[in-house]
Amino acid sequence: MSNNTPWLVVESLCAGYGESRILDQVSLRLDEGQSLALLGRNGVGKSTLLLSLMGLNTHQGGHIDWQGHSLLNMATHQRAALGIGWVPQERYMFPSLTVEEHLTVIARPGRWNLATIYQLFPRLQERSQNMGNQLSGGEQQMVAIARALMLNPKLLLLDEPMEGLAPIIVQELLAVIKRLIQDEGLTVIMVEQHARMTLSITEQALVLDRGQAVYYGSSAPLLADSENLERLIF
């Protein structure tokens, strides 16, 4: 982890859609290699925060700095070029592309290439010539994560990666994300309804309620305090 400028600094962020405010005075800091669980009930602003980091909604106040540079006037593709990878809830599979084409069409040089992706997701190698619409929901989610990794990001944003998946696939993806965080040292922000599982693999946690932070600190104490966790999230 770097002792220099934090990689990501969000200060007093206010954001939403048009004139509607969803996030109100949200702040966080992430150093290189840190991981953050972004938690809360449905509709409290978790996905809105990720969209703010990608520049896909209305900025209404506050600052977002990435490696010492403001992101506020940057387009989404510029943020991606700076190393911010995003795995949206929708997955965005293209029915006319094979799995391998999904991965190679946007690839950038670095740690993650077809060989290392197939080591991480052996099932994708088996399905490499399948079209996007010939995959199960779990396989599509693997492609979505793998595609973001092929950009070789410095920060990976995961928006509900386990949503709607079978328990066995959830466990498989959780193991992959845990490896990315703990073994690969990737900086990760993860929105997830499986709060206890997410807290178990992340260092930090930010809990939102009605667009404001109601908990920001280490994951471990929140995971250990079942009463507080229930009050804040469930």
What are the chain's domains? 33-56+81-233 (3.40.50.300)
pLDDT recorded at residue 2: 45
Length of the chain in terms of residues written: 234
CB atoms within 10 A of CB 56: 16
Cβ-proximal residues to 128 (8 Å cutoff; 6+ apart), any chain: 98, 99, 100, 118
Contact status, residue 74 vs residue 55, Cβ threshold 8 Å: yes
- Mean pLDDT per 10-residue segment, the chain (234 residues): 77 97 98 97 96 97 96 95 94 92 94 97 97 94 96 97 94 97 97 95 98 98 96 90
pLDDT recorded at residue 186: 97
In order, the DSSP letters of 117-144 are HHHH-HHHHHTTTSBGGGS-HHHHHHHH
Measure the CA–CA gap between 1 and 185, rounded to whole angstroms.
9
Instruction: Give this prediction's pTM.
Output: 0.95
CA distances from 89 to 120, 160, 234 (A): 21, 6, 21
pLDDT recorded at residue 3: 54
Contact status, residue 144 vs residue 94, Cβ threshold 8 Å: no
pLDDT recorded at residue 1: 43
CB-count burial class (<10 Å; 0-12, 13-18, 19+) for 68: exposed
Measure the CA–CA gap between 217 and 50, rounded to whole angstroms.
18
pLDDT recorded at residue 195: 95
CB-count burial class (<10 Å; 0-12, 13-18, 19+) for 226: exposed
Q: Which region holds residue 22: left if phi is over 0, alpha if psi is between -120 and 50, else beta?
A: alpha
Cβ-proximal residues to 174 (8 Å cutoff; 6+ apart), any chain: 162, 194, 197, 201
